Structure 1
């Protein structure tokens, strides 16, 4: 079972039904399939073959959708990269993935490093013409070619890069089965999705949550409405105009949306489902949302790229078990284990391990791209070890208590502190750095850095934040930088981040004004 076959089926069954809406562009399933076929032919003519990687460095738009399914229909592997990343970050992905094709629209921060990292790749411009690059409009106009049949064994579909505790992103290799099982079958059944639903995406399609809604909509045969850029007032107008029925929401988006919803709740009359992240979504936000939109049902989930939808809460459980991330998704095996891998009793804390079948089947990723060591460390005896620490109550509800991996969750994005720390340490005025997450009124958590300056160094807080902004995505940079003579450490030399969090409150007062550095 392959993703592109869903589009082909919908194009035959309901060719005039709206498939993708973005800005002023509207594509029916028939039109979308025609574009996919033309682009697949153009890719094939230029040598794209099964197993080749296609890097999509694109902002939100129909081009992302078209190129995704065109690549998949040739057995190629899609590598999405949000334009919020810096050219350094995208160049790293390009060097690691070694793409045959790089598609861009000029919305990223720069392409020079990417071109050097992906030397020999075809560069395709989906935006303004760029010297030497081929044009997406020209590819769309090419005659449709009979594309070669994809061998049945070519099931790899996507590489999603996730930052890690080492500070270097690694690519989670997902198969067609992973994506279809999670976003079509599991989500569809759990949330009651239908072909008549209209799905709204307000986050980058290249990000996990945005792509999830794309997969929900286009596998079930519904309509995908994509916002080019999020704006609270514009979001409400789009919901009303397009009669959106399903929307995904992270806490940051919810906080920004509430005043607009309070001013015009009637604009959300078509909404019937809001899907929210299970972790770190405050119950007071959910209560405010339902207070304004009592006809909407909330569903939340706890998921990860490597293991899919692990647990979920239905509408009523959002309020009866507000601190929980829910109970295991039907068909998903979940166990809590200690450091030796032994089961822990109810009420005790253990690491969440998940199993849904052999790697690449059902929800379990096939592995990390070209990283057998990291794959073996994560998937042990068929179980994905998530790095999240939790306890389970007598009714089977799970409660996240800590992250084994050092991570900040800000605005729906995972930020691994090691990556930010290494970026800070690369500045010549920094001897050492440690990063923690602190509460933030808008983003849930914000990044706060403690820095040991080098003798004679003269870097200011502003200079270090600017330094980070040039090397990592803007959402990863510290909101504040605090200078210390020496980072607190234990007898083994490990930085005591609990002590740093205490110092953060002591030195900054009640954190979380919601004013992030731009």
Structure 2
């Protein structure tokens, strides 16, 4: 199975259906023709099967065309998130050493205009299609080599089964297409024949307008987008009547936010899932479990094995914390990446006998629901006690007026490390240090409550919206 065959099938079955809605509309027949012509040109320019081509384009139809053309040509796409700082972009280009870089939408137009409608020959055993760079929240990003099989299994099979995706669906993408979450929406379009709505950037007002005007039925994004959209939804819920499903990933999905969405849009299916660039979708849960298991990320997906190991690599019993390791067949064949690009030592440390070390600490309950308690590197050791920053963050986030919070360990002469909470306060609200500490004292053990509380205008984040905790600890 190859992605180009899926696209060709969509073009044959529904040639006049809209595939992409962005700067203009493009049908499946037009997308098939444009990507074939661009792929022909890429190969005629001298690029060979397996060569890398960086795609440094903003969200839009040219990005999708360039990406699918690269796959058709047997090239390995290196999507570059333009929200990154220049030094970060330079790092990715230097690490991946692409043979070509597509930087301007006009270059895509030229590739199409110069090509013939003949799909280049690609050996059937060649399957690499993307080098997707990790977010680098704890160090330098690494390039995960992902295959067409990885995307087809996840986005063509699992996503369809989980969310009942259909050709009649209209998806909205609100995250960079250069990220795996954004590319997943492209893969949903290719595999399921549903339309993809691509705004050039996210803003709450414009997104609300698009959902209403384009009758968007499905969106998969990060909880931050839901938080930013909520005032628009509460202001006029009828504008969002077309939405069938809302899927969140990438960060904790606060229970209070889920409740607000449910209350204002009672017919909306709320889903969430836990995934990583290296292993795709690991666990998820649908609307029925969102409020019965609010602290969980869900149950492990069919086809995925998961286990929690202690420091001696022994499996821990239900209810106890261990590092999460997952497996889904041979690397590159199902969900697991094939390798880290040109990083054999990192690959060997991360993948052992097909098992992938996620670096996340979690626990299973008696029903098999997985809860994440922390990143392994974010665990705080204070006075001999293990303190999970995620647990403290969840408690602090309950406090009215707290818009966002990050908890880190800071040096302490007595306890080794102490808990520090960095808090964004919602506009128009007031929260004091005493409020935070008293609330935590009521909700969690005394040794877990923050010894330091700092109020910040904005938490440092990377281009995907994840908090850069290393920048917070660097200030102490």
TM-score normalised by structure 1 residue count: 0.76
Q: Structure 1 residues 515 and 405 mapped into 2: Cα distance closer, same or farther (>3 Å)? A: closer
- How far 1:339 sits from its partner (Å)? 1.2
Residue number in structure 2 paired with 1:30 = 29
How many residues get paired?
A: 422
Residue number in structure 2 paired with 1:21 = 21
Residue number in structure 2 paired with 1:53 = 52
Q: Assess if the C-alpha contact under 8 Å between 2:330 and 2:336 holds in 1.
A: yes
Q: 2:191 aligns with which of 204, 207, 219?
A: 219
Q: Structure 1 residues 209 and 349 mapped into 2: Cα distance closer, same or farther (>3 Å)? A: same
Residue number in structure 1 paired with 2:337 = 365
RMSD: 2.9
- How far 1:252 sits from its partner (Å)? 1.2
Q: Assess if the C-alpha contact under 8 Å between 2:422 and 2:454 holds in 1.
A: no
Q: Deviations over 1:258-292 (max 9, x none)?
A: 11111111111111111112751001101101111
Residue number in structure 2 paired with 1:339 = 311
Q: Assess if the C-alpha contact under 8 Å between 2:127 and 2:149 holds in 1.
A: yes
Q: Assess if the C-alpha contact under 8 Å between 1:388 and 1:402 holds in 2.
A: yes
Distance in 2 between the 1:29 and 1:503 partners?
Answer: 46
Distance in 2 between the 1:278 and 1:230 partners?
Answer: 16
Residue number in structure 1 paired with 2:153 = 181
For 1:75-474, what aligned pairs fall within 5 Å after superposition? 75-104=74-103, 125-126=104-105, 135-144=107-116, 146-164=118-136, 167-277=139-249, 279-406=251-378, 444-445=404-405
Q: Structure 1 residues 166 and 245 mapped into 2: Cα distance closer, same or farther (>3 Å)? A: closer
Distance in 2 between the 1:15 and 1:302 partners?
Answer: 35
Distance in 1 between the 2:263 and 2:343 partners?
Answer: 47
Q: Assess if the C-alpha contact under 8 Å between 2:211 and 2:240 holds in 1.
A: yes
Q: Assess if the C-alpha contact under 8 Å between 1:275 and 1:300 holds in 2.
A: yes
- How far 1:249 sits from its partner (Å)? 3.0
- How far 1:203 sits from its partner (Å)? 1.5
Residue number in structure 1 paired with 2:472 = none
Distance in 1 between the 2:297 and 2:332 partners?
Answer: 25
Distance in 1 between the 2:375 and 2:363 partners?
Answer: 12
TM-score normalised by structure 2 residue count: 0.82
Residue number in structure 1 paired with 2:387 = none
- How far 1:516 sits from its partner (Å)? 7.5
Q: Assess if the C-alpha contact under 8 Å between 1:356 and 1:363 holds in 2.
A: yes
- How far 1:146 sits from its partner (Å)? 3.0
Residue number in structure 1 paired with 2:2 = 2
- How far 1:163 sits from its partner (Å)? 4.1
- How far 1:303 sits from its partner (Å)? 0.7
Distance in 2 between the 1:355 and 1:97 partners?
Answer: 26
- How far 1:137 sits from its partner (Å)? 2.5
Residue number in structure 1 paired with 2:40 = 41
Q: Deviations over 1:5-24 (max 9, x none)?
A: 2111111111100001113x
Distance in 2 between the 1:447 and 1:63 partners?
Answer: 40
Residue number in structure 2 paired with 1:488 = 411
Q: Which runs of 5+ in 2 are unaligned?
A: 380-392, 425-432, 434-449, 463-476
Q: Assess if the C-alpha contact under 8 Å between 2:422 and 2:455 holds in 1.
A: no
- How far 1:319 sits from its partner (Å)? 0.5
- How far 1:511 sits from its partner (Å)? 3.7
Q: Structure 1 residues 405 and 218 mapped into 2: Cα distance closer, same or farther (>3 Å)? A: farther
Q: Which runs of 5+ in 1 are unaligned?
A: 105-124, 128-134, 408-435, 451-486
SS in 2 for 1:351: strand
Distance in 1 between the 2:460 and 2:232 partners?
Answer: 21
Distance in 2 between the 1:61 and 1:447 partners?
Answer: 36
SS in 2 for 1:7: helix
Residue number in structure 1 paired with 2:470 = none
